[in-house]
Each structure stands twice: as C-alpha cells, then as structure tokens.
Structure 1
Amino acid sequence: MTQATATPAKGYAAHNATTPLAPWNFERRAPRPDDVAIDILYCGVCHSDLHFSHNDWGNGVYPVVPGHEIVGRVTAVGSEVTQYREGDLVGVGCMVDSCRHCQACEDGLEQYCLEGFTMTYGSPDEHGHGGGLTQGGYSDSIVVSERFVVRMPDGIDLKSAAPILCAGITTYSPLKHYGVKAGHKVGVIGMGGLGHMGVKLAKALGAEVTIFTRSEAKVAEAKKQGADHVVISTDAQQMEAVAGQFDFMLDTVPVQHDINPYLNALKYDGTHILVGLLEPLEPAVEGFNLVFKRRVLAGSLIGGMPETQEVLDFCAEHGITCDVEMIDIQNINEAWERMQKGDVKYRFVIDMASLKN
C-alpha cells in the first residue's frame, strides 16, 4: 500500500429503519500501515444485522452496511503488517477495533474493552476519514487492522466458516471459559444458528449434550445435529425428569423466557450461561433457584481475537461446519423476511460474487 487514499466500495445498505436494503456506493478508509485490505467472498447473515438495521435496539445509524461474518482474500497489506500477505484467505468477525491498551485488550479479550470495542458496522470509525461509521460485510471489500483479522485454516469450507465468526465464537467462548470437557452434561437451549453450533462444539469438547426445544418437530433435527438427548421444554413431566442433572446450560434464546425451569435442571454448582438475551429477565429469577444449589447465572459475549482464531482452528480440526443456505445479495430482503420467521437452517450466507451482477 504505497498511497493512502480512500477506495470506492459497493454494497447493500439500510438507509433507514423501515425500507428494504438497497445498493449503495461508498468509500473505504485510506489504509494505514497496520491495515489489511480484503476482497469479500462470503458474508453470513446474522439476526443482529436485522435488529440493528431496524433500530430494534435504539442504536441504529444510517446509511449502514450490515454484516459481521466475513470471509475474504487479502488484496494488499500495509507496511507494518507481519501476519498476512496478498492472497491469504482471512476472516473478520463482529469487531474491527478496540482501545488496545486496557486490561481486557491486553488479555486478548477485546470484546470486553473497557472503552468499548468498535463494531464491524454502525460504530464511529475512530481511524476513518471524516469521522464516518464502520460499514460491514454486505459489500465487495473491507479494510481492517491486522489485529482484528483471523486466518482461515487449511481445509476449512469457506462458505460455512463465515458464521463461525459470530455464531461459532459466541458458543465456543463460554464453553471454553467454563471448562466444558468429557464427562460434563451440557444443555443447549434453543435450536437456531447459535444452538446448532453449541451442540456441535460441546460434543467435540467431549460433553454429553441435550437440546431443549419447545417444538416436538425439532427432535429428529436435534439428533441429526449430534444431540444425545432432546427435551421438550413445554412438557412439565420431561422437565421434571431432568431436574438436577446438568453441569451447564448454554442459553441461546434471544427473547424473554422463563429461565427458572432450566436453573432447576442444573446440579449444585451448575452454571446457566446467557448468550442470546440482552433484555431484562422476565419472569424474574427466583433467588431460591440460585442460593440453595450455589448455582451461577452468567453471560458471555462473542470472543476475543485469539479465541476467534482458536475456534476456527478447532472447527477445522474436528470437521465442524455451520449449516448454511447460500443466497445472492439481490435476495437479501427476502432472506431477512425468512430469517424473521425462523425459516432457515441455520444461517444464510451471501455469495458476494453476486454483487458483481
């Protein structure tokens, strides 16, 4: 990168909270010495893309190009870049910067940066031109600091690896942090993009895995994903039968739900980990369910950069892939409608070659 000039890019953007995504031409920042320029090949479609663009969380900004499950090929590197070179296959996940100097960042836990991490889209780009916003992966290219780029391992399927950068790391990080291993019993609550990855990863770590689902129709699918057992959470008898059995609950449900029955399914010293819900717990947690069994209610957010590389390597080693349905960028609005209805198993991935049409 000899000349630091902004580069033209094209993608699909939300221009407000209510209209469909539409094509948009914009600029990527002038690359810095530590930057990697990437030609985007694939981008996963996450529920967060929809929520942010629809301003469901009240923090929407426009225009915004969503997408934080990015797989691409390096086209150029800055003079200070040491880990990557032109032609390398790489990934970019949910964050593209942080303060880099607080305790969390020094510990490789950039997602807990004390000054707040920079999201891949919709965040003020501290190093951008003209103080603009970061723009995500529903586009043809991206420029990212080397620290926030990961390497795609040899042999990994690039298309199905894209969601590992969000759904994969979101479920892998708490399983690793809490030490899930052979002999542990893990319950996975919910059978969507996060849940099906949670099953595969917990199984690969050696755990005995049970899926908790509200739907009788998902029993066969849960078994196909590798679950040892399936519990219909709306069946009081089935829930009573598993009381006090589990070491961990990985709770991937993104909407309010009663966690008390799941706490009751934990052993003493069991841990219930929230990775999907950002709203207040409703109904309230009964203190009895925690105090009388020394149970822990915990939360976990994506993963730091070292751990994001680790989960990619782990998935490549164990042959773990995300179940994906490929789409063209021109069909993104229809895909979002289907995603809202739960009509996808389990992640849409955009083939960015379609953007050239």
Structure 2
Amino acid sequence: MKAQQYDARDNKLHLNEVPIPEPRDHELLVKIGCASLCHSDVMLFEPNDQGLILGQNPVTIGHEGTGTVVKSGSSEAASKFKEGDAVGFICAVECCFECKQCKQTHNAWCETGKTKMQGFSLDGYFAEYAIVDAREAMVLPQGLDPKSAAPLFCAGVTAYHGVEDCGLEPGQWMAIIGCGGLGHLGVQYAKAMGYKVIGLDIADQALEEAKNCGADHVFNSMTDQDWKKKVIEITGGGVDAAVNFTASKKSYDDAPDIIRPGLGLLMVVGIPRQPLTLNALDIALGRYRVKGSNNGTCYNMRPAIEFSAKHNIKPHLSTYPLEDVPKMVELMNSHKAQGRMGVVFD
C-alpha cells in the first residue's frame, strides 16, 4: 500500500510503498476512508521542546482518521467490531487503558510508561490501511460519514472538551483564539452549548469561517489595534473563558488582557514551540484561572462524537490526493488553509 512517511534523516515526507499490516488480537485493520492533517503533525518538521517524541523512522504520519473495518482480532474488545463497520478512532496505543491516569487524565501518562502515539512513534493514518487499537475505536453514529468525519477524532474531540470543560453557563462569553482547523469546530460547539462567541485570529479567511460557524463577533488581532478594548466593551468587562487553539505564544501572552478579572478562565489547548510564560502574581491573586484540555481518550471520545452527530457539527474539509500531503503541510504553515485539510481514499 502507499503511505506518506516522515523521515528524520532529511526532515521530509516520502510517498513510500509499505506492506499492509496484520492486526494483533486487540487490534482492527481499517481501510482508511479519510485522514486529516493536524497542526501537531506539522510539529514533526520543526524544533520544539514540548515533548513530541519520534519513534520509528521513517514513520507514517497522521493521527486523525476514519474508515471501515476490514479484519478484527480475537480479543473481547476487537470481536465487538465486524467487517464493514464504519469506525473512528484515536491514536494512543500500547498503554494499559485501566490505570487511573489512562481513565481520568490521558493515556500519555499511563503508569506502564509504554504509551506510543500513532503518527509519531508508530505508523499513523496517511496510508491506505491502518492498524488501530479496538479499545480506541467506536462505530460512527448515524449521520457521520467515514469519508469526511476524520477531523472529529482529534480536532473535534479536542475542541469539544476545550469548550465543554470550561464549565460555562448558556449566555456567557467565550473567546475562541484561533479559528482554523480546531477553532472553527470550537465555535460550532460553543454556539451549540449556548455561549456567546468572539473569534480571534490573524487570518481573515479563518475569521470568515468563524462567522459562517456562528461567531457573534470576530477580530483580526494583527490588523485591529483596538481589538482588546473592543472585546472588553462588548463583553462588559472581559470574556468568561478564552480557549486558545493556536500554537502562538504571543496569543497566550495577550489572552489575560481580555479575560474577566477574578472569574475568567484561560483554557490551554494549542501547543507553541516555546514554553508558556505566566505571571505568578496574577495566578496567586486570582486574576484568572488556567486549565488544560487534551485530544481525548477512549473514555471521553464518545460524548464528543455523539454531540457532534446530534448537533450536526461539521468540519470544513478541503480534500487532496495522498500525493499532496506535503502541499497540505505548506498551506498549514503559511496560514492559508481554511478549516481542515484531508485525504479521502477510494
């Protein structure tokens, strides 16, 4: 089969011919219907000190996928799936799924220390077929198509929990910082939950997408010098939560200025190359709170996907052939992409 593989020796992608893998007892072999590109995939190509670990080299990239079951293993979890099932899945594998960290925090912190992430330390989904752990998979709800739903299985789960975990009440104000691949979904989730939404970005096409998704107000934080003042005026003192989906450290530095003092929350989702800088006095005196949200586990994946199906949350997906994944990477790096980019397989 064909697979887009990252090779650290030249820091490039290569379209390679590789064997179709065989599932182990706890795994499924899935014919990929759709694989989509996430910003963390692009982090493979750039220096970072945020803990991104490359395992095998070369490695098939991609950790957002949906498809159709071709073959299943013999374990209890795998035997729940049958050939032809339309499925979505997330990428943490080789962990125990049973320890407190796996169940309540994230599989990355599994007490076994053996967790690997597909697309980084093991082969991912920009290939015609992929192996997935049956415990990380679910049958798609009615209304979700394996040819288009891939972005929901990282971007969707991440955006849903980034918004939902803020714990706001309907009618409160939320800022969505970064209205691209993650943020345009975040706007949809926030509106479906009854929040008033301000979209912030430096790309006008992303702001246009935010408006299309229902944002009440949008601002270009690069070209509008008064954007902070306007946000404070519109919200009557600041947003109740600011959810940052970007990889921009500057956007994190700016965020406290638009959060309602003493009540507001900064939700950390996007991962800049550099560590964040927080003012310890602000935190100690309760100017704002800081919380994090991650890309999901098998324990919180299902609510996000079922909410998406119920409320018709749809990713804006631009599609390309498998050969053009390097072009997709270039578009993401240049901030010229709108919504999510993906490959749809025959």
159 and 55 in structure 1: CA distance in 2 versus 1, 3 angstrom threshold: farther
Work out the CA distance in 2 between the residues paired with 1:117 and 1:181.
Answer: 36
From 265, 273, 281, the counterpart of 2:267? 273
Map residues 141-290 of structure 1 onto 2, 5 A cutoff. Answer: 141-215=129-203, 219-234=207-222, 235-243=224-232, 244-267=237-260, 268-281=262-275, 284-290=277-283
1:120 alignment partner in structure 2: 118
Alignment-derived partner of residue 74 in structure 1: 69
TM-score (norm 1): 0.84
Aligned residue number for residue 11 of structure 1 = 3
Q: Which amino acid aligns with 1:78?
A: G
**Alpha carbons 2:34, 2:148 under 8 Å: kept:** no
2:29 is the counterpart of 1:37: yes
Q: Which residue of 1 aligns with 2:59?
A: 64
Q: Distance in 2 between matches of 1:48 and 1:246?
A: 27
CA contact (8 A) 1:111 1:301 kept: no
Q: Does 1:307 align with 2:307?
A: no
Q: Which runs of 5+ in 1 are unaligned?
A: 1-8, 124-133
Give the letter aligned to residue 143 of structure 1. I
Q: Secondary structure at the match of 2:10?
A: coil
> Is the Cα contact below 8 Å between 1:211 and 1:231 reproduced in 2?
yes
Paired amino acid for 2:80: Q
Deviation track 1:210-265 (CA, whole Å, cap 9, x = no partner) reads 11223566544431121011234344533124333211110111032153442132
Aligned residues of 2:32 and 2:125 also touching (Cα < 8 A):
yes
* Aligned twin of 2:289: 296
Q: Which residue of 1 aligns with 2:324?
A: 331
| Contact 2:181–2:338, Cα closer than 8 Å, also in 1 | yes
The 8 Å contact of residues 326 and 350 in structure 1, kept in 2 or not, is answered as yes
Percent identity over paired residues: 27
Residue 85 (structure 1) aligns with: 82
State whether structure 2 residue 18 is matched by structure 1 residue 21: no
Distance 1:33 1:137 in 2: 20
Letter in 1 for 2:3: G
Q: One-letter code of the match for 2:118?
A: T
Q: 1:108 to 1:148 in 2, by over 3 A?
A: farther
Contact 1:249 1:266 in 2 (8 A): yes
Q: Tell me which moved more, 174-183 or 264-273.
A: 174-183
Instruction: Tell me by how many angstroms 1:17 deviates.
Output: 5.0
Q: Residues 247-297 of structure 1: CA distance to partner in whole angstroms, max 9, x if unpaired?
A: 111011103215344213222221101111244456x43344434444112
Q: Which residue identity lines up with residue 256 of structure 1 in the other structure?
A: K
Task: Structure 2 unaligned segments of length 5 or more: list them.
Answer: none
Correspondence for 2:311 among 310, 313, 318: 318
Letter in 1 for 2:258: A
State the alpha-carbon separation in 2 of the partners of residues 174 and 19 from structure 1: 31
The secondary structure found in structure 2 opposite 1:21 is strand
CA drift of 1:199 comes to 0.6
Match of 1:94 among 91, 94, 98: 91
Provide the rounded CA distance (Å) in 2 between the counterparts of 1:75 and 1:276: 34
Deviation at 1:72, TM superposition (A): 0.9
Aligned mates of 2:330, 2:10 — CA distance in 1 = 13
